[in-house]
Amino acid sequence: MTDQIKIYIPKETSACSVGSELIAEKITDLAQGHKHISIIRNGSWGAFWLEPFIEIEKNGNRKGTSYLNKKISHLSSIEELFDDFYNSNPFNIMDIDFIKRQTRLVFSRIGLYDPLDLNQYRNSHGYKGLEKSFEIGQQQTIDEIKKSGLNGRGGAAFPTAIKMQTVLDQESTIKYVACNADEGDGGTFSDRLIMECDPYSLIEGMTIAAYSVGASHGYIYLRSEYPLAKYFLTEAIKILKSHNLLGKNILGTNFSFDIELRIGAGSYVCGEETAMMESIEGKRGLVRSKPPLPAIKGLFNQPTLINNVITLASMSVILFHGKEIFSQFGSGKSVGTMPYQLCGNIKQGGLIEVPFGITLNEMIYDFGAGTFNEKPIHAVQIGGPLGFYLPAHLLNTPLTIEALMDLKGSLGHGGVIVFDDSTNMALQAKFAMDFCAVESCGKCTPCRIGSVRGVELIDKIYNGTAVKADRVLLEELCETMETTSLCAMGGMTPNPVRSIMKYFPNEMMI
């Protein structure tokens, strides 16, 4: 009997975007009739410059190589494929620095196997976190999260356990858990990777969260631009239901929990938690005022725990390994690991899960290997379209919540976008206002009208028709938007603009 050969072809959005589906088709054709060959559609390892990264496992030895720009259409047999593959210097992904240097806790399973393979998930500690939680009870679970130091990974970095405690303490008989999977920031993809490459870890985390606060129903609010994530979540929920890991009396306990997947309609602001709730309720995605806090009066006026995908997935890790797995790293608000997402003008873009504290320099050069086109770095935007721009001379800044706050910025959802010196920063400033002008929910005045006036003012500056008073007006507008907007959308839009005025004054001259 011939040894089993496994061929891994990633089924993940970035891999698919560079042809992994076509490769899968071709290889499936070639493997037809070869019973000892199995094709596994695994997730991505998050080393995007390698995609499509095809791996072959033979005699327990798993190696891979990038099939980017690699022609395989001419191959006529599986043997030819193997020859071609082994002639391309395949390597074990674990051996490259990009992966070796990471501390993958939350992303420990991505790329390893078929994300829907429940046996594999359970064999790699899957559902051990939930079992632990059931064992120690609701309050202990929250205490464990509290002591781990986990903060929300969606952008606001709010202490997760405080929200959980608030929801648990509400007397309502109906409570909800809502997973915010409306990952809309340009340059971010960590939520997507979890949902596409390890969906069970998110759902396990949600189940832990639901159990700990006493919620019986959960929603995942997924942006419509993630069709593959929708597929994986839909399938995962189906499979978990058939294995009694969702639904009534989970794992034989008294706890019942169901999850509904809700798809957004293309609105950025629906990632703002109150607008998200409106959208889940079937209404227009308009931001609600806080208070009341969602934890007290959230979805359908009931106490609701709202967390980001990574935050929830982290719960399974913390519960299984214990609080120290996070608390051993970092300090202050920046505790545990953080999945940074490196992109823009960069050689080696992808997901980088490391403990808080790494500097931009380390990230860009040690992991990213510098700019893609070798041009000097001019600016780095951190934290999505509403994040601030840092100039090259501040690349020694550690990527912690505190350090970035000191610079009047924020880490947000962990996106890092690299720009070279051909970038026109005035246009980047205009883009920030423009983004708000397109994506504002239209409720509050500073965001609804202010963003449009911002675009117009920056346009004047860019065209050289602005006068000094226009700059004063722009500064006042930024202050008004920042201090009077209803939500963070309008409130943070001035961040990139102000950082450009501060760090790139010559490019916003009047």
Partner 1 sequence: MSILKEIDHGTPAITSTKTVSAKINGINVSVPDGTSIMRAASLNGIEIPKLCASDNLESFGSCRLCIVDYKDRSGFGYPSSCTTPITEGMEVTTHNKKLTHLRKNLMELYISDHPLDCNTCAADGDCELQDQASSLSLLGTNNMLKPTRYSSIKNDHLGQPVDSSNPYFNFDPEKCIVCSRCIRACNEVQGTYALSLHNRSYDTQIKPGISESFLKSECVSCGACVQSCPTGSLIEKTIVEKGIPDKTVITTCGYCGVGCSFKAELNNNEVVRMTPYKDGKANHGHSCVKGRFAWGYTNHVDRITKPMIREKITDPWQEVSWDRAVSFAAEKLTKIQQEHGIQSIGGITSARTTNEEAYIVQKLIRTAFGNNNVDTCARVCHSPTGYGLKQTFGTSAGTQNFDSVLASDVILVIGANPVVAHPVFASQIKKRIKQGAKLIVADPRRTEMVESPHIKADYHLPLLPGSNVPLINAFSHVAVTEKLIDQNYIDQRCDTESFNDWKEFISLNIHAPENAEMATGLNATQIRAAARLYATGNNSAIYYGLGVTEHSQGSTMVMGMANLAMATGNVGSVGCGVNPLRGQNNVQGSCDMGSFPHELAGYQPIENDKLRGAFEKKWQVTIQNKPGMRSLNMFDAAVAGKFKGIYIQGEDFVQSEPNIQHVEEAFQSMECVIVQDLFLTETASYAHVFFPATSFLEKDGTFTNAERRINRVRPVMEPISGKHEWEITQDLALAMGYQMNYSSSSEIMDEISELAPTFKGVSFDKLDKLGSVQWPCNDEAPEGTPIMHVGEFVKGKGTFILTEYVPTTEATNRKYPLLLTTGRNLTQYNVGTQTRRTANNIWGEDDVLEIHPADASTRGINNETLVLLRSRKGETTLKAAITENIPPGVVYTTFHNPETGANVVTTENSDWATNCPEYKVTAVEVEPAEHRSEWQINRAKKLEQFRQIRNP
Binding span for partner 1 by CB under 8 A among 234-242, 338-346, 395-403, 450-458:
450-458
- Contact status: 88 vs partner 1 (CB under 8 A): no
- Contact status: 444 vs partner 1 (CB under 8 A): yes
Residue 52 to residue 188: CA distance in whole angstroms: 19
**How wide is the angle at C-alpha 277 spanned by C-alphas 276 and 280, nearest 5°?**
85
Binding span for partner 1 by CB under 8 A among 17-25, 97-105, 197-205, 451-459:
451-459
Which of the residues 194 through 233 are near partner 1 (CB under 8 A)? none
- Contact status: 441 vs partner 1 (CB under 8 A): yes
Parallel/antiparallel/unpaired status of strands 53-58 and 61-66: antiparallel
- Contact status: 115 vs partner 1 (CB under 8 A): no
Q: Which is nearer to partner 1, 94 or 469 (CB)?
A: 469
Q: Which is nearer to partner 1, 205 or 271 (CB)?
A: 271
Q: Which is nearer to partner 1, 178 or 487 (CB)?
A: 487
Parallel/antiparallel/unpaired status of strands 337-344 and 415-420: parallel
Q: In the set 210, 213, 477, 497, which binds partner 1 (CB under 8 A)?
A: 477
Tokens matching residue 480: 């008004």
Q: Which is nearer to partner 1, 286 or 386 (CB)?
A: 286
- Contact status: 436 vs partner 1 (CB under 8 A): yes
Residue 451 C-beta: closest distance to partner 1, Å? 7
- Contact status: 144 vs partner 1 (CB under 8 A): no
- Contact status: 448 vs partner 1 (CB under 8 A): yes
Q: Which is nearer to partner 1, 10 or 491 (CB)?
A: 491
- Contact status: 172 vs partner 1 (CB under 8 A): no
- Contact status: 485 vs partner 1 (CB under 8 A): yes
Name, in order, each residue with C-beta under 8 angstroms of 185's C-beta and a sequence gap of 6 or more: 155, 383, 384, 385, 386, 387, 412, 413, 415
Q: Which is nearer to partner 1, 18 or 477 (CB)?
A: 477
Q: Which is nearer to partner 1, 335 or 447 (CB)?
A: 447
Indicate the residue type of 155: G
CB 170 within 8 A of CB 245: no
Q: Which is nearer to partner 1, 303 or 491 (CB)?
A: 491
DSSP 183-204: --STT--HHHHHHHH-HHHHHH
Which of the residues 335 through 394 are near partner 1 (CB under 8 A)? none
- Contact status: 461 vs partner 1 (CB under 8 A): no
- Contact status: 5 vs partner 1 (CB under 8 A): no
Q: Which is nearer to partner 1, 252 or 282 (CB)?
A: 282
Q: Where are the beta strands (DSSP E) in 371-459?
A: 377-382, 388-391, 415-420
464: number of Cβ within 10 Å: 8
**C-alpha distance from residue 105 to each of 224, 329, 366, 452 (Å):** 28, 12, 20, 42
Q: Which is nearer to partner 1, 12 or 278 (CB)?
A: 278
- Contact status: 289 vs partner 1 (CB under 8 A): yes
CB 177 within 8 A of CB 305: yes
**How wide is the angle at C-alpha 270 spanned by C-alphas 457 and 187, nearest 5°?**
70
Sheet holding 388-391, edge to edge: 350-355, 337-344, 415-420, 377-382, 388-391
Residue 254 to residue 86: CA distance in whole angstroms: 53
Query: Could you give the dihedral angle defined by the CA atoms of residues 156, 160, 162 and 163, in that order, rounded to the nearest 10 degrees?
Result: 80
Residue 149 to residue 161: CA distance in whole angstroms: 8
CB 503 within 8 A of CB 382: no
- Contact status: 443 vs partner 1 (CB under 8 A): yes
- Contact status: 293 vs partner 1 (CB under 8 A): no
Q: Map tokens 């390892």 to a residue.
A: 45
Residue 291 C-beta: closest distance to partner 1, Å? 7
Alpha helices per DSSP H over 60-189 = 78-86, 97-100, 118-123, 128-136, 138-148, 160-169
Q: Which is nearer to partner 1, 235 or 476 (CB)?
A: 476
Which of the residues 225 through 284 are near partner 1 (CB under 8 A)? 267, 269, 284
Alpha helices per DSSP H over 298-424 = 309-321, 324-327, 360-361, 401-406
Binding span for partner 1 by CB under 8 A among 18-26, 90-98, 320-328, 472-480:
472-480
Q: In the set 51, 362, 482, 507, which binds partner 1 (CB under 8 A)?
A: 482
Contacts with partner 1: how many residues (CB under 8 A)?
A: 39
Q: Which helix (H) or strand (E) segment is 209 a member of?
A: helix 199-213
CB 356 within 8 A of CB 329: yes
Q: In the set 98, 450, 499, 508, which binds partner 1 (CB under 8 A)?
A: 450
Q: In the set 204, 273, 353, 439, which binds partner 1 (CB under 8 A)?
A: 439
Q: Which is nearer to partner 1, 193 or 486 (CB)?
A: 486
Q: In the set 222, 286, 363, 433, which binds partner 1 (CB under 8 A)?
A: 286
Find residue 331's DSSP bridge partners. 334
Residue 268 to residue 183: CA distance in whole angstroms: 8
Binding span for partner 1 by CB under 8 A among 196-204, 222-230, 417-425, 481-489:
481-489
- Contact status: 440 vs partner 1 (CB under 8 A): yes
Q: In the set 342, 437, 497, 508, which binds partner 1 (CB under 8 A)?
A: 437
- Contact status: 291 vs partner 1 (CB under 8 A): yes
Residue 367 to residue 272: CA distance in whole angstroms: 31
- Contact status: 491 vs partner 1 (CB under 8 A): yes
- Please give the residue ranges that form the binding site for partner 1 (CB under 8 A): 267, 269, 284-286, 289-291, 436-453, 456, 469, 473, 476-477, 479-480, 482-486, 491
